[in-house]
């Protein structure tokens, strides 16, 4: 395989070739770095690149592989890391001016576990300020006048632009699933507590969750296999059994039973084009044998949007209180406004929000006791024009608040050539089943389009 083509491999394809030794990690990494050289001036997906160190690590991993030694399922795979995770010796800015030159002396748990599984840390991808509202400069590789989504903006754009096979994001509201949808790739938010947040700049501890962006559902399984597990250093980490996600994802599931949530005010937020796309997706799955039942929305959903923003504001303000009080000028005005609301919010309003969450979590669990998954839109419309907003997380926030695992799948293109997506929601800590259902859906959807910038580059190369 030509080096220039290696960056087009999915993580699973690359891992297979690396094991067979018909691809070496150095060549894969050089292909990714070449894609970055070509497209980064337009996309702006990276805060910090660590190319030289990454190449040295790739050479070491190739020597180990040649000797028949493999560290884990990600041996030799380059991965981007959202710039809210600590990386020893590599700066971590959180998208915030006060941290522009901050270099941690230890790795976040996510980074530790990726390295242990053989992954190569390629660099740090852009984020909105503290993973909140104020956008980064990153652009969507499908159409650079449009947002790539946020807050995991660089992770979504980098994977879509073939700069790396996978990247780590986070999701507190919609920060992994939304960029994946806008960029036409696959997003994954595990169950809250499944993956440790140790060494991650916090936003709202009761919903913060590391996520994964990749180019196929099969890529998510080895990433989760590497990342999942209890961490006593982090208080939201869940002490739950770990499963064989790779084999679970590949397992034949027969005809899945899927609850379609399209009714009521929740779905009214969607554009007509998104509504049609979700209906077409459901019809396609039903024709292939899935049982699709359209259900009414739980009554508790009506209060989830307000509850989410209350929790986010209060917990975000608590984490950043000292800086808010001593250096409010360091924040973007949009970030400052939201966090100051949190500082002034009453305990009663916060507790009311937690009550709404408990009610919705119970309602979601009841639905998922009868179905393999829930299907909804990922986003209310395709990526907005301009870079002043990263889009609306209205369809993501409830599931992030409830803590359920979610896979986002590209499901078609809008009239103006931008990706649209659906999300498949699973039961808490049942990621293996969710990945199997999502893979079944992905095969039927058959989305294989390339972003405009990538297609243009392929045309020039040929």
Asked if 46 and 123 touch (Cβ cutoff 8 Å), the reply is yes
Asked if 141 and 99 touch (Cβ cutoff 8 Å), the reply is no
Q: Which residues pair with 125 in a beta bridge?
A: 46, 82
Sign of the Cα torsion 120, 123, 126, 129 reads: positive
Residue 414 token pair: 């809008």
Residue 175 appears among annotated catalytic residues:
yes
Residue 202's contacts (CB-CB under 8 Å, 6 or more residues apart) are: 208, 315, 319
- Beta strands at 373-377 and 257-261: parallel, antiparallel or unpaired: parallel
Q: Residue 413: which H helix or E strand, with range?
A: strand 406-413
Residue 375 token pair: 């299907």
State whether residue 450 is helix, strand or coil.
coil
Which listed residue (175, 237, 305, 400) is catalytic? 175
Asked if 109 and 234 touch (Cβ cutoff 8 Å), the reply is yes
Q: What is the CA radius of gyration of the chain?
A: 21
Residue 329's contacts (CB-CB under 8 Å, 6 or more residues apart) are: none
Which listed residue (82, 153, 189, 237) is catalytic? 82
Which listed residue (25, 31, 151, 400) is catalytic? 151
CA distances 216 to 9, 223, 427, Å, are 10, 12, 21
Which of 395-414 are b and which e, b meaning 16 or more Cβ less than 10 Å from the residue's Cβ? bbbbbbbbbbbbbbbbbbbb
Which of 61-88 are b and which e, b meaning 16 or more Cβ less than 10 Å from the residue's Cβ? bbebbeeeebbbbbbbbbbbbbbbbbbb
State whether residue 227 is helix, strand or coil.
helix
Please state the three-class secondary structure of 143-171 as a single string. Answer: CCCECCCCCCHHHHHHHHCCCCCEEEEEC
Give ∠ CA 431-220-197 in degrees, rounded to 5: 75
Which residues carry out catalysis? 82, 151, 175
């Amino acid at each position: 395989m030509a080096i220039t083509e290696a960056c087009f491999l999915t993580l699973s394809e690359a891992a297979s070739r690396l094991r067979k030794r018909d691809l070496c990690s150095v060549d894969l990494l050089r292909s990714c770095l070449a894609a970055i050289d070509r497209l980064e001036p337009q996309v702006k997906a990276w805060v910090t690149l660590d190319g030289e160190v990454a190449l040295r690590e790739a050479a070491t991993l190739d020597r180990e592989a040649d000797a028949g030694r493999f560290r884990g399922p990600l041996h030799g795979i380059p991965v981007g890391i959202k710039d809210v995770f600590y990386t020893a010796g590599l700066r971590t800015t959180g998208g915030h001016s006060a941290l522009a030159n901050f270099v941690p002396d230890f790795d976040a748990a996510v980074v530790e576990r990726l390295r242990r599984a053989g992954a190569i840390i390629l660099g740090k991808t852009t984020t909105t300020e503290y993973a909140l509202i104020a956008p980064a400069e990153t652009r969507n590789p499908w159409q650079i006048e449009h947002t790539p989504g946020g807050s995991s903006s660089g992770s979504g754009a980098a994977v879509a632009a073939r700069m790396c096979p996978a990247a780590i994001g986070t999701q507190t509201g919609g920060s992994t699933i939304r960029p994946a949808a806008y960029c036409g790739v696959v997003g994954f938010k595990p169950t809250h507590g499944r993956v440790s947040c140790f060494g991650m700049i916090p936003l709202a501890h009761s919903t913060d969750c590391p996520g994964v962006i990749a180019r196929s559902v099969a890529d998510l399984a080895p990433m989760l296999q590497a990342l999942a597990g209890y961490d006593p250093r982090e208080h939201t980490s869940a002490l739950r059994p770990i499963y064989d996600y790779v084999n679970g994802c590949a397992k034949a599931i027969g005809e899945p039973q899927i609850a379609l949530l399209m009714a009521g005010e929740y779905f009214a937020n969607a554009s007509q084009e998104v509504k049609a796309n979700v209906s077409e997706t459901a019809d396609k799955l039903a024709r292939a044998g899935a049982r699709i039942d359209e259900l009414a929305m739980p009554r508790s959903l009506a209060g989830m949007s307000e509850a989410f923003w209350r929790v986010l504001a209060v917990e975000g303000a608590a984490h950043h209180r000292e800086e808010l009080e001593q250096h409010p000028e360091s924040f973007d005005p949009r970030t400052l406004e939201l966090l100051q609301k949190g500082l002034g919010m009453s305990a009663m309003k916060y507790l009311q929000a937690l009550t709404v969450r408990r009610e919705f979590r119970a309602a979601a669990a009841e639905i998922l006791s009868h179905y393999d998954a829930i299907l909804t839109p990922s986003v209310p419309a395709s990526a907005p024009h301009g870079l002043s907003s990263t889009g609306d997380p209205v369809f993501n926030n409830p599931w992030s608040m409830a803590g359920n695992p979610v896979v986002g799948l590209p499901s078609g293109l809008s009239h103006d050539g931008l990706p649209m997506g659906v999300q498949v929601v699973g039961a808490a800590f049942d990621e293996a089943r969710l990945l199997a259902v999502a893979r079944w859906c992905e095969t039927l959807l058959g989305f294989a389009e390339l972003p405009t910038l990538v297609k243009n580059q392929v045309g020039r190369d040929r």
